């Protein structure tokens, strides 16, 4: 292979990598996982191939949302330290190309899910994409400190989509999973906003920490950590999880509330930011273990 061919292959690989980064792969992996839980807990199980193909299109839908979000937020992404290394601010992908990519992925994901699954699943996926882009990204994110509360609904739909892939219906179980993610989201992102507050100020995003200050944000983090806890226990009491879920949800939930209380009573700024960072990281594991125990319970024990 000539040097020119090697250079061409590397350039093509870099372009593909940049477009893949537009899809927010870490968020996409969480979407796939929570949608999988929705599939597994449903009373009717699709065969492996149908489930895998359906999850692929759900992942594409999540990737479409990520690409469209990066397209619209390109300017503020370049301002914030947390997002300045994304493909568009770095000049790896042109803004209009991200828009085209996101729109194409949106249509392909919804059409593919409709063809390989059912209309209800495709409809909810379409609503999720539209909600994330138009309601959260374009409207709420720049207009209200409650942006992440209301906008969090978009990230809460995957287990509902997973359930509808299996059963072509909606029941209380996926609604509980929806509520767990919905109530988890504010404390997760407000913890991030505390130690990245200057980023949000520079980008003029009205996060709660920017508009109302640290003290109010800390109280809200504790409030949401408390009201989240009973919903994480609900799968056991509603019969779609076993004692392992009850145990993990109780212990992890108690420690989450403890961290949030420690954040509330800590006055020194650097210590507050350290605890907020710990809450942000811990919250990811908290959500993962709750859904993991539900998945394991339903796959092996229930």
- Identify the pLDDT of residue 19: 96
State the average pLDDT over residues 163-179. Answer: 97
237-246 pLDDT per residue, tens: 999 999 989 9
- Identify the pLDDT of residue 295: 94
- Identify the pLDDT of residue 8: 58
Look-up of token digits 């409709």: 114
State the average pLDDT over residues 145-155. Answer: 94
- Identify the pLDDT of residue 4: 53
- Identify the pLDDT of residue 89: 96
Q: What tokens does 114 get?
A: 């409709």
Is pLDDT of 146 > 70? yes
Is pLDDT of 9 > 70? no
The CATH class that applies to domain 17-164 reads: mainly alpha
249-297 pLDDT per residue, tens: 999 999 999 999 999 999 999 999 999 999 999 999 999 999 999 999 8
- Identify the pLDDT of residue 302: 66
| pTM beyond cutoff 0.75 | yes
């Amino acid at each position: 292979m000539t040097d020119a061919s090697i250079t061409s292959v590397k350039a093509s690989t870099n372009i593909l990598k940049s477009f893949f980064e537009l899809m927010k792969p870490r968020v996409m992996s969480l979407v796939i996982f929570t949608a999988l839980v929705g599939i597994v807990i449903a009373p009717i199980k699709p065969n492996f191939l149908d489930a895998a193909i359906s999850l692929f299109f759900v992942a594409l839908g999540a990737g479409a949302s990520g690409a469209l979000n990066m397209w619209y937020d390109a300017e503020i992404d370049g301002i914030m330290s947390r997002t300045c290394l994304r493909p568009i601010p770095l000049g790896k992908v042109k803004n209009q190309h991200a828009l085209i990519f996101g729109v194409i992925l949106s249509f392909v994901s919804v059409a593919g899910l409709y063809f390989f699954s059912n209309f209800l699943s495709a409809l909810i996926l379409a609503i999720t994409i539209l909600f994330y882009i138009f309601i959260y990204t374009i409207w709420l994110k720049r207009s209200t400190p409650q942006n992440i509360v209301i906008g969090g609904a978009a990230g809460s739909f995957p287990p509902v989509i997973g359930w509808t892939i299996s059963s072509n219906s909606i029941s209380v179980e996926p609604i509980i999973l929806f509520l767990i993610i919905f109530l988890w989201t504010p404390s997760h992102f407000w913890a991030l906003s505390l130690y990245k507050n200057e980023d949000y100020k520079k980008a003029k995003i009205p996060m709660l920490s920017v508009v109302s200050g640290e003290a109010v944000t800390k109280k809200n983090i504790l409030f949401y950590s408390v009201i989240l806890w009973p919903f994480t226990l609900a799968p056991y009491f509603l019969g779609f999880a076993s004692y392992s879920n009850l145990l993990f949800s109780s212990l992890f939930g108690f420690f989450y509330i403890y961290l949030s209380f420690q954040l509330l009573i800590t006055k020194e700024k650097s210590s507050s930011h350290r605890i907020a960072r710990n809450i942000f990281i811990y919250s990811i594991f908290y959500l993962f273990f709750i859904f993991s125990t539900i998945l394991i319970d339903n796959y092996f024990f229930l």
